[in-house]
Structure 1
């Protein structure tokens, strides 16, 4: 009898240990399980700290852009922004926006010097800085080919092996472009050499680059450029090495499932810009098609309706603004505040565009500041719940977390008794609990 009881105790202990182990495996491997460290707290608001022509001193009173950011640091802090997204920091193949980087380690370009960059990042504190990381492609130092320096990936042969086979330069000896998990081929960049992220030499230098930006400049997180160009697994790999407080990728696609698939590729270790939500907002406000803001199941469209804590929302950025694309993809000027009423009261982490905040006039700036205040006072986060009014005729109306109500569109609507108007304007209103 004693032997039987002892054996039973060991069986129970073993089964308990096995259950705990299996539970741990499930938690670790579940999508987003390791994501918390790299995706902020969900309470943040981001400012995109530049626009398409920021690199031109003639537009900035003959000052470098980093000086402009530094001079506005207190205004940015007072407005309630938690992060400022900086432009790419490295030397570029052209005197432009630095999206064709050459020498990663030379932190000087049209936006300013390395010292000016450090000063801007320091001046913003406690607001944190996010660096724009362009590692899908890179140009050679002298030729635009594979003659990489500062850092090199090794000797000339190793430099060529860092470029995918099939690149436009015909100089790459690395592996061909990878496919994403949904089967689509990675996106190439004709102007730069597409890097082979399966190559350990590339991985090592990317990790060193991120470490340099973090330890020497003070960057706290990353915005990854053109992540359609390589598998999201590597973003997760680089985040594991660099430990950003926040990571977001530019997977430019209006299909919500495609964006969520990329987040899955990172193993939930990076958020993504919510292009599908922006597309729905443009259609809704431009064409008064407010049904675009509610799915058949009554949820929000876009990534915020599928995986809200992995969504970074926005209504405009340097790529979509008029000066970049002739106005073909821009957000309607007279609907800008409707867009901010939506993203600053809804799930996801919202991003405000520099031009909208600093160049849209004092009234618009004050209203954006008020919306940030409303969001933070109500405790709205990336995971907040949304009840959407079923009738979308001439309007979109919703109540978020039972604390904030909004309406955009010309039709009248009220959340009822117990609410007070906190903000209103042409075809929009926001209420809070009275």
Structure 2
């Protein structure tokens, strides 16, 4: 069951010492509405602040030409003029990021692609007149093409790409290499990773060699009928994410949807959820922390889509948890820039503690309390934290309060 992390895990990223030693802090640098706001220019102004705050990598929205303004219905993958700005503005942004030593993470949308012309069955399942000019064999038979059946879940309404075709994989690898070598991206986020086999992600990473990559393997948590409350035991949920990471050869991290699902219920007065039956953190973070990318919110779960939002009055408790714990934490743009200056500064303080105390993705953790109104833990034997209404502080004079706020506090030695 599971996959307990060890420092000797040999299946590491190709490059970046930061990834190998687990000192990453990511930011999702957009939301669902960003395409309306001259985004590449808007973001360029924020780069010095992001660098000063300590982010190592910024996940950008899909930069290629798309049928939908948000970027998730791509067509011409080699065109970098998008609703976020022109290719020249993107180049300026990436240059600025490089100067400030923040890696640019490309949002890689390769599960589906909108066709340019009608082919088999009258569907728009051909890609004529643009680079990567595939015919119907590139589209899965379950989504109107002449390819094989999908190796994953179907993304409805648009042609799904058949990754089992060697010519498709060769073209995708060429495109990924172009994003890294010519455009200036360094990291990848794989969109809708449930849509195709993880073995293809493994091949794409091996051939293109990003510094860091993370997959969106978003699966429903386990809920108990008839009331559909969240089940305490989410082992099968995190196991599915672990299995996906395993099939990428451990080369790709994954967003820790298990931790998000549990944490956002726990903060409502059910903090006992944050300790699993083995006494470990209950998400992917508890089993394979160096591959668990933790987060509170993203453009799908929050923003104006709000498919699965984190309770807004508990957001800082969420950050106090993920920014002091093992795993690779991600901060959401809106919390950092749109929820008021004090939240920005509180998050920066937590990031500073993580950095100064050298908390990393594999840091040891000892959970001290996990009851309805109180959770507390010691991380790496040098940081102590609590969240919840319950009043608590660590015993012993060696602890100094480092920061505190509404229902959270962090101490260090």
Query: Shared fold (TM-score greater than 0.5)?
Result: yes
Match of 2:91 in 1: 118
Q: Could you tell me how far apart the structure 1 residues matched to 2:183 and 2:276 are? A: 43
Distance apart, 1:176 and its partner CA:
0.6
Q: What is the 5 A alignment of 1:30-429?
A: 33-37=10-14, 40-41=19-20, 42-56=22-36, 60=37, 64-94=38-68, 96-125=69-98, 126-142=101-117, 145-149=124-128, 150-154=130-134, 159-167=135-143, 170=144, 172-178=145-151, 186-253=152-219, 254=221, 255-286=237-268, 288-325=269-306, 328-417=307-396, 418-429=398-409
Q: Could you tell me how far apart the structure 2 residues matched to 1:122 and 1:205 are? A: 26
SS of structure 2 residue aligned to 1:363: helix
For 1:28-55, what per-residue CA distance to the aligned partner results, in whole angstroms no more than 9, with x for missing partners? xxx9533332782310100111100000
Distance apart, 1:191 and its partner CA:
2.8
For 1:395-420, what per-residue CA distance to the aligned partner results, in whole angstroms no more than 9, with x for missing partners? 11000001111100000111112101
Preserved CA contact (<8 Å) 1:151 1:205: no
Q: Could you tell me how far apart the structure 2 residues matched to 1:393 and 1:330 are? A: 21
Distance apart, 1:297 and its partner CA:
0.8
Q: Could you tell me how far apart the structure 2 residues matched to 1:227 and 1:409 are? A: 34
Of structures 1 and 2, the larger Rg is shown by 1
SS of structure 1 residue aligned to 2:325: coil
- Tell me how large the CA RMSD over aligned residues is: 1.5
Q: Could you tell me how far apart the structure 2 residues matched to 1:117 and 1:322 are? A: 23
Q: Could you tell me how far apart the structure 2 residues matched to 1:202 and 1:127 are? A: 31
Preserved CA contact (<8 Å) 2:284 2:292: yes
SS of structure 2 residue aligned to 1:120: helix
Preserved CA contact (<8 Å) 2:67 2:75: yes
Preserved CA contact (<8 Å) 1:49 1:84: yes
Q: Could you tell me how far apart the structure 2 residues matched to 1:342 and 1:188 are? A: 34
SS of structure 2 residue aligned to 1:37: coil
Q: Could you tell me how far apart the structure 2 residues matched to 1:264 and 1:38 are? A: 20
Q: Could you tell me how far apart the structure 2 residues matched to 1:276 and 1:295 are? A: 12
Q: 1:32 to 1:267 in 2, by over 3 A?
A: farther
Distance apart, 1:177 and its partner CA:
1.4
Preserved CA contact (<8 Å) 2:274 2:370: no
Q: Could you tell me how far apart the structure 2 residues matched to 1:424 and 1:362 are? A: 16
Q: TM-score scaled by structure 2?
A: 0.89
Structure 2 residue runs without a partner (length 5+)? 1-7, 222-236
